[in-house]
């Protein structure tokens, strides 16, 4: 019986449709000890004894994958930057993600962060609790321009919500869907033009060599004075030191961050000292519906691979397809 290590914290010893899918396909499910870190989960995988992994964002390096001997890793989510995909391909490990399961959740979270930062809700709540009522007026969001860096599934889900709030939406994408943009009133622009134009810049690209630290001292300086940065994509995209300086200097109005270079965010991070930065624990893609959908699709990918079916739309390293066998 093949053994699958299931590491996402919300699934730990919590049966559901995902576990029925795995068990019906013939898998034995193994969970890590509650409270283990991502690194500890990766180390557990590396000890061997597993045939597959239903993964969170564990750092799955070449060494971990090679030592583990797994045949497949099903990532619960759409980002796969924590996995050495090139090594996985070389080792014959199929890597899958769960497209189409979380864009509504991320889009809602993006709008929530934008509204909370732009209306200064964090400090307003604190003022009431402290018995102070400064009632300082902040800018109105309606009528402003939202710049989306990335116009894929998530970016498109943000568009309709933002337009409903009265925002003008512009976007930059390295592979733009021009037909969608034209049909939905989204103006496609160069990256630097977006930075100079947008009142709110929201990141929705994957982590690649080109996007690491794409928000840095130079690009932050290009952003409009008094603008806001929202990041629900990946922490690697933002130079956090440069962001702290841009906020401390007053160049930016604030920021809403759901992701960080190091997660959990260290308690020594200077981001924690800024009261106009709203921080969340990488929750953008997680609501009850998306969590269930991601878990079920990840489980189905493993079941399909084990039973000889190729889940084409979910596989990251598609070059394996022709000759891959469990």
Catalytic residue annotation: 234, 263, 282
| HSE (side-chain half, CA atoms, 13 Å) at 199 | 16
User: From CA 243, how far away is CA 165, in angstroms rounded?
Assistant: 27
Sign of CA dihedral 125, 126, 127, 129: positive
CA distances 206 to 10, 41, 106, 241, Å, are: 23, 23, 14, 21
- What would the two tokens of residue 195 be? 């930075």
User: From CA 174, how far away is CA 225, in angstroms rounded?
Assistant: 25
How would DSSP label each residue in 214-238?
A: -BSHHHHHHSPTTEEEEE-S-GGGB
User: From CA 293, how far away is CA 290, in angstroms rounded?
Assistant: 5
Cβ proximity of 179 and 202 under 8 Å: no
């Amino acid at each position: 019986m093949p053994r699958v290590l299931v590491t996402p914290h919300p699934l730990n010893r919590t049966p559901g449709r995902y576990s029925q899918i795995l068990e019906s396909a013939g898998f034995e499910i193994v969970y890590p000890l509650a409270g283990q870190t991502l690194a500890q989960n990766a180390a557990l995988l590396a000890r061997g004894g597993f045939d597959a992994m239903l993964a969170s964002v564990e750092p799955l390096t070449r060494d971990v994958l090679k030592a583990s001997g797994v045949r497949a890793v099903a990532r619960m989510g759409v980002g796969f930057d924590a996995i050495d995909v090139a090594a996985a391909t070389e080792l014959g490990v199929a890597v899958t993600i769960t497209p189409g399961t979380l864009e509504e959740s991320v889009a809602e979270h993006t709008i929530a962060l934008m509204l909370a930062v732009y209306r200064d809700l964090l400090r307003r709540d604190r003022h009431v609790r402290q018995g102070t009522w400064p009632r300082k007026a902040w800018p109105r969001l309606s009528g402003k321009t939202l710049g989306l860096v990335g116009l894929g599934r998530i970016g498109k889900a943000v568009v309709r919500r933002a337009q409903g709030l009265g925002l003008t939406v512009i976007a930059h994408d390295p592979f733009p869907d021009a037909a969608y943009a034209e049909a939905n009133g989204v103006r496609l622009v160069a990256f630097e033009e977006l930075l100079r134009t947008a009142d709110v810049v929201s990141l929705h690209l994957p982590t690649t060599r080109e996007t690491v630290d794409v928000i840095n001292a130079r690009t932050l300086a290009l952003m409009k004075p008094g603008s806001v940065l929202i990041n629900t994509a990946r922490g690697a995209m933002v130079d956090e030191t440069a962001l702290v300086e841009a906020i401390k200097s007053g160049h930016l109005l604030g920021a809403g961050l759901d992701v960080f270079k190091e997660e959990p965010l260290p308690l020594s991070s200077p981001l924690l000292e800024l009261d106009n930065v709203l921080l969340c624990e990488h929750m953008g893609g997680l609501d009850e519906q998306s969590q269930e959908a991601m878990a079920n699709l990840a489980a189905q990918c493993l079941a399909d691979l084990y039973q000889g079916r190729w889940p084409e739309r979910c596989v990251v390293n598609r070059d394996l397809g022709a000759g891959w066998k469990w």
